[in-house]
Chains A and B, each alone.
Chain A
């Protein structure tokens, strides 16, 4: 039985040399970025007193004549093609509302969802009544961003067998700015755990299934005890992965 109690320790301040070493220009709100008026203002900046001032805390990015500040800690801003892990918050008439750590709830339309068995047909009234049978409030899904509405809300789709409802596992939440855009976000770790790195900062760690379920398309969550390896070892691996991710974040 472990119990650790300690006195708090003050955080060490980051020295300014850190910015120079990593070649990143870090700014806080109110910092002057440049006094050169020839630049175009991007996100996170504003013009005041003949100079360009940052309005968020982050790193300055410059593309030719455009200067913008990429914030370190923000809500998730959707881009088309991103992979996200989200939680269903509401079941509405022909769609589900999904929480993805962004400013507005994302939307998953019934027509953007694969029917079980891979059928291709128009969604009928019976499908609409059976929505709660597919996805309920509180369920986790992995999906891809299909479109971004003008108000910033994101529309998702699960039109591939690798997306869909997530089964047993652990969700870890980090800041969205920590997840880089890569070619694949679905990884199988050699220790027997798999991980989905959502661009919205939701990371899903789960035991690797021994065979891919083709027909279900990710709908039927397997609620049996996973015993691919010995359960203790399997879960220990998953815990450690989660610990390491949290350490890296904080």
Chain B
């Protein structure tokens, strides 16, 4: 993870402030920084989203390709995640430097989607055992300003909401050979239901309290963090501890409760923003990267 050098006195100042529920930028321990979400920014993908959370900038593109289903799940399609930590974000990611972090984030994403209810994989099946849709979700880290996991999970959810998979039908000949045909209307497509897609809430332990949405400076003062993946109903799908410090089981319980509470509000805000964007219709002015 990108790190920033801090003097001992600065760290002590941050820790003392957090004890009093007052962070360096004036937020309380459970406040998020202002977030900007925009979907459909990359034109040659099936769905895309860009999320800006303070200095953290994430771009996610989803491409739907046809392939064969996995042997153990013949009636379902699946998702493949790839995270690219580009050298744009910080010079530490130059060359192979970002590969470790990218693999860690990708494995976390596989973990949180590894259950039956997050995404309806049966809707991605075209014909059992033969054809299915594979969604390749590519995450690009443009800028690293702390709290990567949260921003990435929000961007993945927004991109999946924006994904439009073309409708196809399977035609069978007399000889039994199958042919796949697209529907005539190019705008006729299937959309995924993202109601149960979870979002990650990262809780960093600083001193005796924990904070949500830590900046790079606050992450430098924290020895242990808990990643909780929460759905919009408050159901925890996956939990992971990162960092070299240890966590008391009592604190883990408290942090999980905070994560569930904050996660529900996060989902509600994200849903309202995505629906607001969709209600603006196809004529909305896209801001993109040059706005």
Give A residues with C-beta under 8 Å from B: 1-11, 87, 89, 136-140, 166-171, 221-223, 225, 231-232, 235-236, 239-240, 242-243
Q: Does B113 contact A (CB under 8 A)?
A: no
B22: chain A residues at CB < 8 Å are 232, 235-236, 239
Residue of A nearest to B273 (CB): A5
Tally inter-chain residue pairs, CB-CB below 8 A: 109
Complex CA gap A168/B13 in Å reads: 6
Q: How far is the CB of A240 from chain B (nearest CB, A)?
A: 7
A1-B30, A1-B31, A10-B285 in contact; A169/B36 too (CB < 8 A)? no
A8 and B262 in contact, given A232-B20, A236-B22 (Cβ under 8 angstroms): no
Sample 26 A-B pairs with CB under 8 A, ordered by A number: A1-B261, A2-B32, A3-B31, A3-B265, A5-B269, A6-B37, A7-B37, A7-B273, A8-B37, A8-B38, A10-B285, A10-B291, A87-B5, A87-B7, A137-B5, A140-B10, A168-B12, A169-B13, A170-B10, A170-B24, A221-B7, A225-B16, A236-B26, A239-B23, A242-B26, A243-B26
The CA-CA distance from A225 to B261 in the complex, in Å, is: 31
Contact indicator B37/A5 (Cβ below 8 Å):
yes
Task: Give Cα A223 to B8, complex, Å.
Answer: 9
Whether B270 sits at the interface, judged by CB under 8 Å, is: yes
Tell me if B287 counts as interface (CB < 8 A to partner A): yes
Distance between A220 CB and nearest chain B CB, rounded to angstroms: 11
A-B residue pairs, 3 tightest by C-beta = A239-B26, A168-B13, A10-B291
CB distance from B208 to the nearest CB of A (A): 14
A3 contacts B24, CB within 8 Å?
A: no
Partner of A166, one of B9, B17, B32: B9
CA distance A6 to B35 in the complex (A): 6
Other A-B pairs beyond A3-B262, A8-B291, 11, CB < 8 Å: A2-B32, A3-B32, A5-B273, A10-B287, A168-B9, A169-B9, A169-B13, A221-B8, A221-B9, A232-B20, A243-B26
Q: Which residue of A lies closest to B50 (CB)?
A: A8
Within the complex, the shortest CB–CB distance from A224 to chain B, in Å, comes to: 9
Min Cβ gap B220→A in Å is 9
B210 within 8 A of A: no
- Which interface class (under 10, 10 to 19, 20 to 34, 35 or more) fits B? 35 or more
In the complex, residue of chain B having the shortest beta-carbon distance to the beta carbon of A89: B5
Minimal Cβ-Cβ distance residue in B for A167:
B9
B20-A1 in contact (CB<8A): no
Minimal Cβ-Cβ distance residue in A for B276: A7
Interface residues of B in 27-65 (CB under 8 A from A): 27-28, 30-32, 34-38, 52
Closest-by-CB residue of B relative to A223 is B12
For the complex, give the distance between the alpha carbons of A243 and B34 in Å. Answer: 14
CB distance from B212 to the nearest CB of A (A): 8
| Distance from B158 Cβ to chain A, minimum over Cβ atoms (Å) | 10
Contact A239–B25 (Cβ < 8 Å): yes
B6 beta carbon closer than 8 Å to chain A: yes
* Complex contact B26–A240 (CB within 8 A): yes
Question: Would B36 and A6 count as touching, CB distance under 8 A?
Answer: yes
* B266 within 8 Å of A (CB atoms): yes
Inter-chain CA distance A8–B289, complex, in Å, is 10
The distance from the CB of B217 to the nearest CB of chain A, in whole angstroms, is 9
Interface centre among B22, B34, B270, B272 (most CB of A within 10 A): B22
A3-B13 in contact (CB<8A): no
Q: How far is the CA of A8 from the CA of B291 in the complex (A)?
A: 9
Q: Is the C-beta of B80 less than 8 angstroms from some C-beta in chain A?
A: no
